[in-house]
Amino acid sequence: MTTITRFAPSPTGRLHVGNIRTALHNWMLAEKAKQDGGSGKFMLRIDDTDPERSKEKYVEAIRADLAWLGIHPDGEERQSERLEHYEKAFDALVEAGRLYRCYETAQELDLKRKVQLGRGKPPIYDRAGLTLTDEDHAAKEAEGISPHWRFKLDHEEVIDWADGVRGPQKFDPAMLSDPVVRREDGSWLYMLPSAVDDIEMGITDVLRGEDHVSNTAVQIQMFRALKAADIGDSDCPVESASPHFAHEALLVGKEGKLSKRLGSLGCDAFRERDIEPQAIIALLARLGTSQPVEPIADINVLLETFALETFSRAPAKFDDADLDRINTALVHQMEYADVKDRLPEGMGEEAWHAVRPNLETVSGAHDYWKIVTGPIELPEFSDEDREYLKQAAANLTWGDNPWGALTGALKNATGRKGKALFLPLRQALTGQNFGPDMGDLLPVLGEDVARRRLERASGME
C-alpha cells in the first residue's frame, strides 16, 4: 500500500498551532504507513496563487518551522509554478459543461442570501448564471464586465464518502452552492487548483480540519469531473476518483471557545519561550485523540499508537499549561549530549545532571550556572548562623560525597537537623533558599569555591 499525504499552507503568514497540527498529522499518516510495512510520502504544497498576499519570506519560514519540528517533506510543489495545469483543467471542464459564467457582485449575492434566509430557505446560489443567453454574455462583455466562473454540481449525483474520523458522510448536492473557482480577474480560488494538484501529485489521503467538510463534498464531484475529463496522470496511484478524506476537530482554547490567540501562536512564539520541538510534537500528536498526552520524545512510540480511529469529534483543547508540563518533563529526560551546544561555556555533564531536575527549560541552566561561577549575593545571617557556617568551613572535607560528609559532621557537632541544618549551608554556598540537590551541586562548585563561600558567609573574610 502507498500512502501519499500533503500539507498545503498559503504563504501569507507564519504557521500557527492549528497549521502545525495538520502538518504533523499528515506527516505521521505517511510515516505510519512506512512503519506498517508499506510506503509513505509526505508532500509540501505551497498554495501561492495569490501574488498580492503570498510572500517569499513566509515560504522560507514554513520550511524552517517544519524542519525545526523534525517534519521533513519528501517533495515540494508550488502552485505558482503550475498555472498551466489549472488552465488545462479549466478548459476541459468548460468543454464538458461543468463550469459556467456568472456576473453578480458581492453585494448582489449578499442580498440574495438575505432574501433566501428571510424566506426560510438555505442561502445557496440560485444558478442565475445558467439562464444567461449568448446575447446576455455579449452584452456584459460589451460593458467591459468580466465573469467569474462556478463549478456546476450534478444534483442527480449524491455525494458520500467514508470519512476517516467522522464516519459515513452524505450530502445532497442540491443543498450546496455551486462554488466559484475563478475570479473576474482570472485568479484562482482554492477549490479547482487543489483538486488538480491532488490528482497529479497522486495524493491518496487528505487529513484536514472539520471546517473543510462541505469543501470536500464539492471537491468529490470535482475529482470525478476531472477524472472524466482525463486530467492528470493515468498512472496516478489514487485508486478511486478521489483521495480518502478525514476531518479532525478544530483546536480551541482552554476556555472551550475558538481563540484568536491560537492563530498567532506559532513556532516563533514557542522558540521565544524555549519550548522544545519534541514537546510540541508530543502534545499535538495526541491532542484530540483517546490516547493520553504524555512526555514522549521518541517519535516512533507516537507513531505506533497513531490511528485515525482514536480521533475524537469533540473540539481539541489546547492549553499552554499542558505544553509547559510536557516540556519540563522532556527537559528532565534530556542527556548532556542532547543539550551541550546550548549550555553556557564551561558547563559540563556533571553540572547539567546537577541542575536538570530543577529546570523547566534548557535555557534555565544559564541561571543556575551563574550560581556556580558567581558572584552570589548572600542574605543576612544571624550571629548564631555565622558561627555555624564557621564550623562548616572547618569541617569541610573532600571525597566521594562531600555534602553528606559535611552535613553528617555538623549534625553530630551541633545537634542541628532539618531546615536549621541545611538552609544556612545552601544560602552560603548558592545565595538561594532552594535549588538543585546540594549533593549533586557541591562537587560542581569544587572544594576551593565552597570553602571560600562558607568563610565569607561566616564573616571570616
Residues flagged as binding site for ATP: 260
Nearest alpha carbon to residue 372 among 447, 437, 444: 444
List beta partners, residue 209: 248
Phi-psi region of 346 (alpha: psi -120 to 50; beta: other; left: phi over 0): left
List beta partners, residue 454: none
Q: Which residues are annotated as a binding site?
A: 260
Phi-psi region of 147 (alpha: psi -120 to 50; beta: other; left: phi over 0): beta
Question: C-alpha dihedral over 306, 308, 314, 319, to 10 degrees?
Answer: 30
List beta partners, residue 289: 311
DSSP of 405-452, one letter per residue? HHHHHHHHHH---THHHHHHHHHHHHS-SS-S-HHHHHHHH-HHHHHH
Within 229-342, where are the H helices? 267-272, 277-286, 299-304, 320-333, 336-339
d(CA 58, CA 71): 17
Task: Say how many residues make up the chain.
Answer: 461
DSSP 318: E
